[in-house]
Amino acid sequence: MKYLCLVYSDENDLHSLPDSPKDTECHAYAQNLAEGGQLVAGEALEPVSTATTVRVRGGQLSITDGPFAETKEQLAGFYMIDARDLNEALRIAAGIPPARVGSIEVRPVRPLDV
């Protein structure tokens, strides 16, 4: 079953706290998951200042600057993983290095009803 692990953190100090992970550590963790067949995809994201939000309302396209919601923590990256069940997904999420400074939201992927 696929789970999306969303990495949230305050991007102002994501890279500057004593516990902040280095890119090399994140890369190694993803590599490790990939070798075990548990990684579907995973990327780090540019800061929310680079985000654009797209909406279509009544056929009208609207494009606005910034993330969907202004919050204290921002989406900093994601891992799409393949896990046996939620317990395995939570184990994997707990190992994601920025879990030490931010938080990881684990969301089951909903198979489309087609």
Partner 1 sequence: MHSDTQQRLARLYQDESRRVLATLIRLLGSFDLAEEALHDAFLAAASQWPREGVPDNPRAWLVSTGRFKAIDQLRRKARFDESLDHVADSLYQQSEREVFDDDDRIEDDRLRLIFTCCHPSLAPEAQIALTLREVCDLTTEEIARAFLTTPATLAQRIVRAKRKIQSARIPYEVPGPAELPDRLDAVLQVIYLVFNEGYSSSFGDQVTRHDLSEEAVRLGRLLAELLPDPEVQGLLALMLLHQSRRAARTSAGGDLIRLENQDRTLWDSVMIAEGEGLVRRALVSRRVGPYTLQAAIAALHADAPFAEETDWNEILGFYDLLRRAHPSPVVELNRAVAVAMRDGPRAGLNLIDELSAGGRLNNYHLLHAARADLCRQLGRVDEARLAYEQAIALCRQAPERRFLEAQLKSLAG
- Nearer Cβ to partner 1 (91/100): 91
Q: By CB under 8 A, tell whether 85 contacts partner 1.
A: yes
Q: What is the three-class DSSP state of 101? A: coil
- Estimate to the nearest angstrom the gap between the alpha carbon of 94 and the chain centroid: 13
Question: By rule CB under 8 A, what string of x and - marks binding of each residue 43-82 to partner 1?
Answer: ----------------------------------------
Regarding 87 and contact with partner 1 (CB under 8 A), the answer is yes
The one-letter amino acid at 40 = V
Decide: residue 50, CB within 10 A, 0-12 exposed, 13-18 middle, 19+ buried.
exposed
Binder to partner 1 among 17, 45, 90, 99 (CB under 8 A)? 90
Rounded Cα gap, residues 23 and 31, in angstroms? 12
Which residues would be at the binding site for partner 1 (CB under 8 A)? 1, 84-87, 90, 108, 110
